[in-house]
Amino acid sequence: MKMPSPTRRHFIGGLLGSASFWLYSDHKVWADALAVGNAGPYAPRYFNKEEWRFLNAACERIYPTDAHGPGARGLGAPEFIDRQMDTAYGRGELWYMSGPFVSAPANLGYQLSLPPREVYRQGIAGADAYVRAHHDGRSFADLEAAEQTAVLKEFEHGEMALGAVPAHLLFEQLRQNTLEGVFSDPLYGGNKGLAGWTLLGFPGARADFMDWVNQEGAAYPFGPVSISGETA
Amino acid sequence: MTTKKTDAIVIGAGWAGSILAKELTEAGLSVTILERGEDRATAVEGDYPTSIDELRGAIRHRLFQNLSQSTVTIRNTTDQVAVPYRRLAAFLPGEGVGGAGLHWSGVHFRVAPDDLALRTNVIAKYGKNFIPEGMNLQDYDVTYEELEPFFDKAEKVFGTSGEPYTIKGKVAGTGNPFAPDRSDAFPLPAMKDVYSASIFKKAAANVGYHPYSLPAANASAQYTNPYGVQMGPCNFCGYCSGYDCYMYSKASPNVNILPALRQDPKFTLITKAHVLKVDLDSDGKKATGVTYLDLRTNQEVQLKADLVIISAFQFHNVHLMLLSGIGEPYDPVKNTGTIGRNFVYQTITTSRAWLPSKQYTNLFVGAGGAGVAIDDFNSMNFDHGPLGFVGGSPVWVNQAGVKPIAAAIGGPGGKAPTWGEGYKDAMVETYRHSLTIDAHGSNMAYRDIYLDLDPTYKNAYGQPLLRMTFTWKDNDIRMNQYVVSKIEPIMKELGATRYALGTLHANDVFDTRRYQTTHLGGGAVMGADPKTSAINRYLQSWDVSNVFVIGASAFPQGMGYNPTGMVAALAYWAAYHIRTTYLKNPGPMVQA
């Protein structure tokens, strides 16, 4: 799903209006975020073609397009996830990744040696292989929406191995990253048109509610604004 | 190896370390803080809108410890093999100048006086047999009256907002009637109650409880503290917990102490300095200084000093004592040793009320320290006799500003879908029309719950990781269930269309994957008996008298209140006695 062009123009305009400030201010993370081109359809840098098809389909099932508005694809969650793969998070640099790696009760947390980008690389290949074996040779992205949902529900609590990745861990990462993409600042490639925040009524970077501490249950009246100044 | 000399070394630039460094420089000592993380200043990375980015902040851990270098291992029981806490989730230690004191929320309690002598009080009221088998219930060996001037001092430094109950024995306000007497008012009036807290306040009063506005180290008005540094008025932006307060309203070492300290020529701050061990003399009775790794050059540096203050995060304090050979490591089988003994946490469960669709709770509005609480079921404020457990919980609405990623990942609650069809509808209702009520309670200490060095896993510098053996015990689970049952009448009274009560369940094990609190405690506890405590009532090591260990590591058991107020008071208490007694005659201040 493509966003209507006026919103998109506004989005780019908002970024350009402040880019020099952020670059000047030496905010490297944001400078990198701003350096990503906004012209034309997004070309993934980490995911290959098959992985990208899987990711787009899976994100959309987790956060679907409906009467409330665009789903994860329209909001750019797959783009967000692709960009996150080349960050300290994606490379597993925020985690303790020294061995030995042993299996342990689930409540003691993640114990794989794989960083997020490898969870996707191995997990998506495993997921597509699993789906082809159970669905007449079709890959996940080729299934009907209802079938995709059913597969994700199998994965959600499933212990089956998708490559080296237990299915529930692939699902957990997909769900977390999709929702991060939908609800983070648009700087990172998702939440396009601030539609994620608009749905919830979160006003974004306004961050000043001196007059709204207690209005006896009235709804906060102002729409969201992004860090770069985009409004919706 | 380079060798240098200073009068006093302070390890860690969080609240405890900053307080000790300030006090010791005031006493005329040259003081060096060694902080393993980066320098952090609100004017640089805490500014608007740099700091209010949820993804980079709370989600990707901008101010939290990077576990890639060092973490802990965790197991639930002694028969398990502990595995590393690889990803931050259950608790969030800080890193860098300010420590967890930069990313905390700001709930700023004193202490429930009964908690300071809990063993004595429980036995006096219910008899010795009331204490369950295996529970190491202990006293602090310090009284509220002794600590009161230091609670008062800390509140004035922090710019704490609150409503008193009694001052010098006379009712002076509408604050918490269970709160201990005060020598003075709060420096600032209480924070305003957000809508959700205000309806909780009415409902709780209507069902016969005693609600009060939380004491908050969030400034309700412009403030200048005794060190001459300024705070701005909180605007309820909601970026306290996990963030660094662009308004200079939330107290932090960075805003409230370090601006004054940095100007003192006797003070040195060395960042990216990872302390490997406290060095001891040949008979192990005196510290000669510390050895640290300069993370910028990868060189080991020996820094000599007459006085060493261990004031890092709770479990880092214990880790460093074990790595340095200060005191005897705790052995749960023989029940000997003290270092690692009485490791504790807190219980916390969250209940949710959904309000009619015309009522908006605007969950993004908030302040980390503000809210409304009741103490009717905290500490020894109620009769435990027929209940058969020790401990209690404050109950509160503490709307700290709910951000959308955390809300979305947490899900809509109740039985609603956590993704896919129906998810958005449920999230919209929950985010716009619900409020949460927490039971934030005590956790007792047990013989088989402790800290020691892991036999397998190492940090990036080749040292063994700290190992936690921790799970929930029946006493604390039943305490939580009882207190949560007392939330139900409030739910009914505040007009919820439906509600979900969150409790611990019988046989629940500690789950490291889900955030609970960062309020870890114990492991190097204070007390009167060197057989059951690592440090004396002045937080001085029983074994190495020129080492003081400051922090929540000193708590003999986990209390219902948030720990920072108690940590700050203990820091000022210890500093006062170092200044007035120890420095004049260095040596043990209590004879073992």
pLDDT tens digits, A26-84: 445 545 554 454 557 899 999 999 999 999 999 999 999 999 999 999 999 999 999 99
CA separation for the pair B588, B270 (Å, rounded): 29
CA separation for the pair A152, A171 (Å, rounded): 7
CA distance A62 to chain B (A): 5
Q: Which amino acid is at A80?
A: F
What is the residue whose two structure tokens read 């806490």? B85
Contacts of A98 in chain B (CB under 8 A): 84, 457-458
Q: Is B128 on the interface with A (CB under 8 A)?
A: no
Residues B270, B33: contact at Cβ < 8 Å? yes
CA distance A15 to chain B (A): 14
Residue of B86, B510, B513 for testing the chain A interface, max A β-carbons within 10 Å: B86
Q: What is the dihedral of CA B443, B445, B447, B452, to 10 degrees?
A: 100
Tokens, residue B167: 């001052």
List, for residues B72-119, the tens digit of each pLDDT value. 999 999 999 999 999 999 999 999 999 999 999 999 999 999 999 999
Report the pLDDT value the prediction gives residue B2, as an integer from 0 to 100.
79
- How would residue B129 be classed by pLDDT, with cut points 50, 70 and 90? very high
Whether residue B401 is predicted with pLDDT greater than 70 in this model: the reply is: yes
List the end-to-end C-alpha distance of chain A, in Å, as a whole number: 18
CA distance A112 to chain B (A): 9
Whether residue B197 is predicted with pLDDT greater than 50 in this model: the reply is: yes
Residues A38, A108: contact at Cβ < 8 Å? no
Contact A220 B365 (CB under 8 A): yes
Contacts of B403 in chain A (CB under 8 A): 202
Report the pLDDT value the prediction gives residue A26, as an integer from 0 to 100.
45
Q: Is A102 on the interface with B (CB under 8 A)?
A: yes
CA separation for the pair B34, B37 (Å, rounded): 9
Report the pLDDT value the prediction gives residue A32, as an integer from 0 to 100.
52
Contacts of B409 in chain A (CB under 8 A): 175-176, 179-180
| Window A:8-47, CB contacts with B under 8 Å | 25, 27, 29
Q: Is B516 on the interface with A (CB under 8 A)?
A: no
Report the pLDDT value the prediction gives residue B42, as an integer from 0 to 100.
87
- Mean pLDDT, chain A, integer: 88
Which chain A residue has the Cα nearest residue B64? A94
Contacts of A149 in chain B (CB under 8 A): 420-421
CA B409 centroid distance within chain? 25
Among B455, B445, B480, B450, smallest CA distance to B558 is for B445
CA separation for the pair B312, A170 (Å, rounded): 36
Whether residue A5 is predicted with pLDDT greater than 80 in this model: the reply is: no
CA separation for the pair B327, B338 (Å, rounded): 7
Report the pLDDT value the prediction gives residue B559, as an integer from 0 to 100.
97
Contacts 24+ apart (CB under 8 A), A218-226: A218/B360, A219/B360, A219/B362, A219/B432, A220/B360, A220/B362, A220/B364, A220/B365, A223/A194, A223/A198, A224/A194, A224/A197, A224/A198, A225/A194, A226/A14, A226/A185, A226/A186, A226/A187, A226/A191, A226/A194
Report the pLDDT value the prediction gives residue B414, as an integer from 0 to 100.
87
Tokens, residue B20: 């000790």
Q: Are strands B307-310 and B498-500 parallel, antiparallel or unpaired?
A: unpaired
| Window A:106-135, CB contacts with B under 8 Å | 106-111
Q: Is A160 on the interface with B (CB under 8 A)?
A: no
List, for residues B431-477, the tens digit of each pLDDT value. 999 999 999 999 999 999 999 999 999 999 999 999 999 999 999 99
- How would residue A23 be classed by pLDDT, with cut points 50, 70 and 90? very low
Contact A200 B81 (CB under 8 A): no
CA distance A18 to chain B (A): 12
> Which of B239, B405, B512 is opposite residue A180, by nearest beta carbon?
B405
Contacts of A201 in chain B (CB under 8 A): 360, 362, 428, 431-432
Contact B87 A107 (CB under 8 A): no
| Window B:403-432, CB contacts with A under 8 Å | 403-405, 407-409, 418-421, 423-425, 427-428, 431-432
Report the pLDDT value the prediction gives residue B86, as an integer from 0 to 100.
98
Least confident of A2-16, A28-42, A142-156, B28-42: A2-16
What is the residue whose two structure tokens read 């932090």? B252
CA separation for the pair A76, A190 (Å, rounded): 4
CA separation for the pair B579, B592 (Å, rounded): 21
What is the residue whose two structure tokens read 């918490």? B176
List, for residues B136-157, the tens digit of each pLDDT value. 999 999 999 999 999 999 999 9
| Window B:170-229, CB contacts with A under 8 Å | 192-195, 198
Residues B63, B36: contact at Cβ < 8 Å? no
> Which of A96, A180, A209 is opposite residue B59, by nearest beta carbon?
A180
Q: At what angle do helices A49-62 and A77-84 cross, to 10 degrees?
A: 130
CA distance A29 to chain B (A): 9
Contact A108 B421 (CB under 8 A): no
Domains, chain B, with CATH or none: 2-584 (3.50.50.60)
Q: Which amino acid is at B189?
A: P
Q: Is B357 on the interface with A (CB under 8 A)?
A: no
CA separation for the pair B524, B567 (Å, rounded): 13
Whether residue B60 is predicted with pLDDT greater than 80 in this model: the reply is: yes
Residues B265, B125: contact at Cβ < 8 Å? no
Contacts of A179 in chain B (CB under 8 A): 405, 408-409
Least confident of A24-38, A156-170, B293-307, B530-544: A24-38
- How would residue A20 be classed by pLDDT, with cut points 50, 70 and 90? very low
Report the pLDDT value the prediction gives residue A4, as an integer from 0 to 100.
38
CA distance A6 to chain B (A): 25
- Residue B72 phi/psi, 5-degree rounding, is -120, 165
Residues B340, B523: contact at Cβ < 8 Å? yes
Report the pLDDT value the prediction gives residue A47, as an integer from 0 to 100.
98
Among B456, B385, B439, B455, smallest CA distance to B561 is for B439
Report the pLDDT value the prediction gives residue A14, as an integer from 0 to 100.
38
Among B117, B465, B524, B128, smallest CA distance to B344 is for B524
Which residue is catalytic, options B316, B440, B519, B577? B519
Conformation bin of residue B215: beta by default, left when phi > 0, alpha when psi is -120 to 50:
beta
- Which alpha helices (DSSP H) does chain A contain, by range? 5-24, 28-35, 49-62, 77-84, 116-134, 145-156, 167-183, 195-200
- How would residue A1 be classed by pLDDT, with cut points 50, 70 and 90? very low
- Residue B267 phi/psi, 5-degree rounding, is -105, 135
**What's the mean pLDDT in B328-345?**
98
Residues B114, B121: contact at Cβ < 8 Å? yes
Contacts of B233 in chain A (CB under 8 A): 210
ipTM surpassing 0.85:
yes
B519 among known catalytic residues: yes
Which chain A residue has the Cα nearest residue B364? A202
Among B578, B100, B163, B141, smallest CA distance to B316 is for B100
Tokens, residue A182: 């939908």
Q: Is A201 on the interface with B (CB under 8 A)?
A: yes
Report the pLDDT value the prediction gives residue A12, as an integer from 0 to 100.
36
- How would residue A8 be classed by pLDDT, with cut points 50, 70 and 90? very low
Contact A107 B358 (CB under 8 A): no
CA B45 centroid distance within chain? 24
Q: Is B296 on the interface with A (CB under 8 A)?
A: no
Contact B409 A176 (CB under 8 A): yes
Contacts of A218 in chain B (CB under 8 A): 360
Peptide bond into B417 cis (omega under 30): no
Q: How many CB atoms lie within 10 A of CB B260?
A: 19
CA separation for the pair A91, A84 (Å, rounded): 9
Residue of B405, B470, B512 for testing the chain A interface, max A β-carbons within 10 Å: B405
Contacts of A212 in chain B (CB under 8 A): 236, 362, 365
Contact A187 B53 (CB under 8 A): yes
Contacts of A27 in chain B (CB under 8 A): 50
